[in-house]
Amino acid sequence: MAQNKNIAVVLSGCGVYDGSEISEAVLTLLHISRAKAEAACLAPNIPQRDVTNHLAGGRCEGEIRNVLVEAARIARGKIKDIAHADPQDYHAAIFPGGYGAAKNLSNFASLGAKCEVQPAVHKFITSMHAAGKPLGFICISPALAARALGEFKPLLTIGNDATTAQTLTELGATHISSAVDEICIDETNKIVSTPAYMIEGAQLADISLGIEKLVKAVIKLIPKNGK
């Protein structure tokens, strides 16, 4: 069933504190491959909100990096500007987490319930949803779905963090508390989410299980007649 399915993986940079969470991104790519589907990486061609020193902590003052260029590190250079991506080319899309989802793909990190999704990312999400194509959201990235698709009252999980869950509720979503290796499936909206590193102390093996379940559930939601 998964053969020849083309899954967009939307990245937000490279590094947990200012871009994509690398383990989540790589696990997403791994489990797409294991499902015999094809991953196609996308990212917005925009400056990062900030640059973090992942060794020492804190911002790299005065340093500017590009989200698409940094995300290309994970994609081994095979990546496309999401502004030029046609939703018709993909059967589904998955969004790994990391602070980049809340800083670069949106401004959720700074504005919470008053946030906006980056325009090209917003258009891609709403276009995929309007076409009935499944969407997967990992870690903090369900905030993107809550903001872009709040009018459709999506069922989402970010784990068990009460404050973040309340913010998603304010955006229109219904939050479902979940363990690290569990997924939340919204059959109506064809949205699947899993908490990953939003669960404090989460172990990589358990995160992998959750992402594997998410990938399989997203692929299962693809209509049998394709796009």
Catalytic (active-site) positions: 139
Q: Which CATH number fits domain 6-220: 3.30.1020.10, 3.40.50.880, 3.30.930.10, 3.40.50.720?
A: 3.40.50.880
Q: Residue 5: is it exposed, middle or buried by C-beta count within 10 angstroms (0-12/13-18/19+)? A: buried
- pLDDT score of 225 more than 90: no
Q: What is the pLDDT of residue 1?
A: 38
Rounded CA separation 203/42 (Å) = 27
**Could you read off the pLDDT of 167-206 as tens digits, one per residue?**
999 999 999 999 999 999 999 999 999 999 999 999 999 9
Lookup: tokens for 144: 């993107």
pLDDT digits (tens, 9 = 90+) for 115-146: 999 999 999 999 999 999 999 999 999 999 99
What is the C-alpha to C-alpha distance for residues 145 and 40, in angstroms, rounded to an integer? 20
Which token pair is 71? 């995300």
* Sequence spans of domains, the chain: 6-220
Query: Rounded CA gap, 52 and 60, in Å?
Result: 6
Residues 13/70, Cβ–Cβ less than 8 Å: yes
Identify any residues that bridge with 137 across adjacent strands, giving them in sequence order: 95, 193
